[in-house]
């Protein structure tokens, strides 16, 4: 495995590359709050099967700095296009996890000629509108934020704030800093369900039936809307099953990729 960096429009983009070019390249887009580091095991296992595997640190994650403006999924999609063009990738396999899956869906619809096959791993495609519970949480969060400013010690404020967001299951937001907070708030409102019928490439959907970050019912919604797609549900697993059962995860992928 090699770690490399390229400059894209003034942004120093870091990525990992491993394997050979005997088979089509696999481009992996990690989820929110993650990086290429979290996919090293999967990369090594796929590279051992003679795939060329490329994993960028998306802007704002890992070693790649954050964008200078508030990006949405469209900007991340454009970034992936510039990244693949710079590396000369065409006819590759695209794998996206969670937020990376949301971006992968947008990319495949916009640039279908570049994607040979698509793997959507618990993609954050279905973004629901805020319900009554969500509005209550938001109101309480604002009130809680006002209360925090009465605490004179910054470190203590930050620790309490992070604990609060963990408690209400907003871990991704709690771990986000600077402009990435605004980017996070933007991308979680961008529902891509309507794009699913426009995905025409062979598609595999992978989900853990215990996933609480992206509900299992979303898997059926997405499969229904992507014509000809296949769905593999891994029993007893959650949102990061590639950590827990990497062998089963890679086996599922390689079965799908067989000619």
pLDDT, one tens digit per residue, over 25-66 is 999 999 999 999 999 999 999 999 999 999 999 999 999 999
Q: Are residues 177 and 155 in the same domain?
A: yes
What is the dihedral angle through the alpha carbons of 129, 131, 133, 137, rounded to the nearest 10 degrees? 40
Q: Are residues 168 and 195 in the same domain?
A: no
Rounded to whole angstroms, how far apart are CA atoms 37 and 63? 10
pLDDT for the residue numbered 145: 54
Rounded to whole angstroms, how far apart are CA atoms 219 and 215? 8
Q: Determine the number of helices (DSSP H) and then strands (DSSP E) in the chain.
A: 10, 8
Domain span holding position 149: 132-184
pLDDT for the residue numbered 132: 44
Q: Are residues 169 and 73 in the same domain?
A: no
Q: Are residues 7 and 25 in the same domain?
A: yes
pLDDT for the residue numbered 151: 56
pLDDT for the residue numbered 170: 52
Q: Are residues 148 and 41 in the same domain?
A: no
Sign for the CA dihedral angle at 77, 80, 84, 90 comes to: negative
The answer to whether residue 146 scores a pLDDT higher than 80 is: no
Rounded to whole angstroms, how far apart are CA atoms 83 and 71? 16
Tally of structural domains, the chain: 2
Q: Are residues 9 and 77 in the same domain?
A: yes
pLDDT for the residue numbered 177: 74
pLDDT for the residue numbered 21: 78
Q: Are residues 199 and 93 in the same domain?
A: yes
Residue 246, CB half-sphere, CA atoms under 13 Å: how many? 10
Q: Are residues 153 and 172 in the same domain?
A: yes
The answer to whether residue 252 scores a pLDDT higher than 60 is: yes
pLDDT for the residue numbered 169: 45
Per-residue confidence at 135, pLDDT binned at 50, 70, 90? very low
Closest CA to 257 of 10, 16, 23, 15: 23
Q: Are residues 88 and 164 in the same domain?
A: no
Angle at 100 between CA 95 and CA 105, to 5 degrees: 70
The answer to whether residue 202 scores a pLDDT higher than 60 is: yes
Top pLDDT among 68 and 131 is at 68
Q: Are residues 180 and 196 in the same domain?
A: no
Per-residue confidence at 159, pLDDT binned at 50, 70, 90? low
Query: Where is average pLDDT lowest: 5-9, 30-34, 123-127, 176-180?
Result: 176-180
Q: Taking a C-beta distance cutoff of 8 angstroms, is the pair 13, 5 a contact?
A: yes
pLDDT for the residue numbered 150: 55
Q: Are residues 227 and 108 in the same domain?
A: yes
Q: What is the CATH number of the domain that holds 42?
A: 3.40.50.1820
User: Which of 140, 163, 184 is at the close of a domain?
Assistant: 184
Q: Are residues 19 and 138 in the same domain?
A: no
pLDDT for the residue numbered 43: 98
């Amino acid at each position: 495995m090699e770690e490399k960096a390229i400059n894209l429009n003034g942004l120093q983009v870091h990525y990992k590359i491993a394997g050979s070019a005997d088979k089509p390249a696999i481009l992996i887009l990690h989820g929110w709050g993650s990086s290429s580091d979290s996919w090293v095991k999967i990369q090594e296992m796929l590279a051992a099967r003679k795939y060329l595997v490329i994993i960028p640190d998306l802007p704002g994650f890992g070693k790649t700095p954050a964008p200078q403006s508030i990006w949405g999924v469209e900007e991340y999609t454009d970034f992936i296009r510039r990244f693949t063009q710079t590396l000369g990738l065409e006819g590759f396999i695209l794998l996206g996890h969670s937020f990376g899956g949301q971006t992968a869906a947008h990319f495949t619809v916009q640039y279908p000629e570049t994607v040979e096959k698509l793997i959507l791993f618990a993609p954050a495609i279905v973004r629901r509108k805020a319900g009554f519970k969500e509005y209550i949480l938001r109101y309480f969060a604002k009130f809680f934020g006002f209360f925090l400013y009465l605490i004179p010690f910054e470190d203590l404020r930050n620790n309490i704030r992070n604990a609060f967001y963990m408690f209400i299951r907003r871990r991704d937001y709690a771990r986000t800093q600077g402009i990435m907070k605004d980017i996070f708030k933007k991308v979680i409102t961008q529902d891509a369900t309507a794009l699913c019928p426009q995905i025409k490439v062979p598609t595999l959907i992978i989900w853990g039936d215990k996933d609480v970050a992206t509900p299992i019912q979303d898997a059926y919604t997405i499969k229904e809307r992507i014509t000809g797609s296949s769905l593999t549900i891994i029993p007893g697993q959650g949102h990061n099953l590639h950590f827990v059962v990497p062998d089963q995860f890679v086996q599922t992928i390689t079965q799908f990729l067989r000619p």
